[in-house]
């Protein structure tokens, strides 16, 4: 049973220096293991492919149940199996292999050159793809040699290194455990529904979190201890956290819809005080409706209304007065026009003047009382006094 790991590095020489110090056995693929650092550099200079990534650090660890770290035969077997794995996974890359026996399990460190010897191009992809490819090849080789194949635990939501496992066996907490406990405490709060609230709550627990590409990075405040969510476990990865927060937001919106409908119904009922709260089918609904009608009728017949509110009769008076004001100039103008028409129809008596002549007889007929008032009446002596002298 073997487990694998791979990550990129900006210095191939640093990886070689670390792996070579404690190696009990070593071997190389497409290079001379004694001159691994210089040959890595020569290939980079020949192909002229500069960049930050110079190599990839990988590791294959075997179970102590299958191999004894102190047995020379087991050490040789493990190194041969590891070389076969990397030869199939990266046949065109430079690979330096260093076997370590300083832990409970035999493991092999591999330094993989980033440049392909045939194309001159660097490895393209991400470490997830590289790891999946390496795991697949490792399982095939282990089956061919009759070794157990590592089965992933579907219930395992935390990833722990060997150092963490040892500290936990001694009942000593680690800084990664502090981060896990803080995240667990934050996610137990149902009010945490977005990433900003998630960050703020973790900050109160002395943990800083931020997005870094497809991952989340956690750091204990005041220290240099930081780790990606992928190294803490599935429950602490970006995809898991974001999916849970999105689910909470959807659930919150679903719960708010019936609350808004209920509030709208209550507001509409309060805005119409004359509406009876009882249903039409209720036996008291008819009586309550009649009471409301009688109350409204009685209030309409009251005369002791405030002066600020005009009555219906006052409104009618104002309306009639406005109508009279509007029709008065119209009537006046119509009267003038009729007089002018009547004067234009009279015959011209003088023939010289255009002014219409008044008819005295018509005047007398129209105003007999006015003529009698202007001329004083004289006594008639012809019948009483006889002839005049």
Partners of 56 in beta bridges? 8, 112
Task: Specify the CATH number of the domain 2-144.
Answer: 3.30.930.30
Helix axes 175-187, 195-204, angle to 10 degrees: 130
CA–CA gap between residue 78 and residue 108 (Å, rounded): 8
Domain ranges of the chain: 2-144, 162-244
* Residue 244 near residue 189 (C-beta atoms within 8 A): no
DSSP track, 209-248: EEEETTEEEEEETTSS-EEEHHHH-GGGSHHHHHHHHHHH
pLDDT digits over 137-154, tens only? 998 998 898 887 876 655
pLDDT in tens, the chain (389 residues): 467 778 888 899 999 999 999 899 999 999 999 999 999 999 999 988 777 889 999 999 888 888 999 999 999 999 999 999 999 999 999 999 999 998 888 999 999 999 999 998 888 766 667 888 888 899 899 889 888 787 665 555 556 666 666 666 677 778 888 898 899 999 999 899 999 999 999 999 999 999 988 889 999 999 888 888 888 888 898 988 998 999 888 888 887 776 666 666 656 655 555 554 444 444 444 444 444 444 444 444 444 444 445 565 677 777 777 777 776 666 666 677 767 666 655 555 444 444 444 444 444 444 444 444 444 444 454 444 444 43
Cα–Cα separations (whole angstroms), residue 150 to 115, 142, 166, 203: 30, 9, 21, 38
User: Which of 84, 83, 92 is closest to 30 using CA atoms?
Assistant: 92
The helix or strand, by DSSP H or E, that contains position 144, with its residue range, turns out to be: helix 127-144
CA–CA gap between residue 161 and residue 155 (Å, rounded): 17
What pTM was estimated for this model as a whole?
0.46
């Amino acid at each position: 049973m073997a487990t694998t790991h791979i990550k990129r590095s900006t210095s191939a020489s640093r990886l070689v220096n670390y792996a070579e110090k404690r190696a009990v056995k070593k071997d190389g693929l497409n290079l001379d293991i004694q001159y691994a650092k210089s040959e890595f550099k020569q290939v980079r200079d020949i192909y002229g492919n500069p960049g930050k990534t110079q190599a990839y650090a990988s590791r294959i660890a075997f179970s102590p149940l299958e191999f004894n770290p102190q047995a020379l035969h087991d050490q040789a077997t493990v190194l041969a199996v590891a070389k076969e794995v990397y030869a199939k996974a990266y046949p065109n890359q430079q690979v330096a292999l260093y076997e370590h026996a300083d832990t409970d399990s035999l493991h092999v460190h591999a330094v993989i050159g980033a440049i392909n010897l045939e194309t001159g191009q660097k490895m393209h992809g991400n470490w997830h793809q590289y790891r999946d490819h390496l795991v697949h090849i490792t399982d095939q080789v282990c089956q061919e040699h009759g070794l157990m194949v590592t089965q992933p635990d579907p219930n395992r939501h935390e990833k722990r290194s060997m150092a963490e496992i040892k500290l936990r066996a001694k009942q000593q907490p680690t800084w990664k455990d502090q981060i896990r406990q803080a995240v667990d405490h934050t996610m137990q709060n149902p009010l945490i529904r977005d990433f900003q609230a998630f960050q703020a709550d973790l900050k109160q627990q002395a943990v800083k979190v931020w997005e870094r590409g497809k991952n989340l990075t956690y750091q204990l405040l005041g220290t240099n201890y930081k780790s990606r969510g992928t190294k803490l476990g599935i429950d602490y990865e970006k995809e898991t956290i974001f999916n849970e927060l999105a689910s909470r937001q959807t659930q919150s919106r679903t719960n708010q819809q019936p609350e808004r409908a209920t509030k709208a119904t209550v507001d509409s009922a309060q805005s119409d005080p004359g509406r009876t709260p009882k249903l039409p089918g209720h036996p008291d609904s008819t009586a309550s409706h009649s009471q409301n009608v009688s109350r409204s009728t009685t209030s309409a017949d009251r005369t002791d209304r405030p002066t600020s509110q005009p009555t219906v009769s006052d409104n009618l008076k104002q309306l009639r007065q406005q109508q009279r004001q509007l029709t008065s100039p119209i009537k006046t103008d119509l009267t003038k026009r009729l007089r002018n028409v009547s004067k234009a129809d009279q015959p011209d008596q003088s023939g010289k003047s255009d002014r219409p002549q008044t008819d005295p007889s018509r005047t007398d007929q129209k105003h007999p009382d006015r003529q009698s008032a202007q001329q004083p009446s004289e006594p008639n002596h012809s019948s009483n006094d006889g002839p005049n002298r």
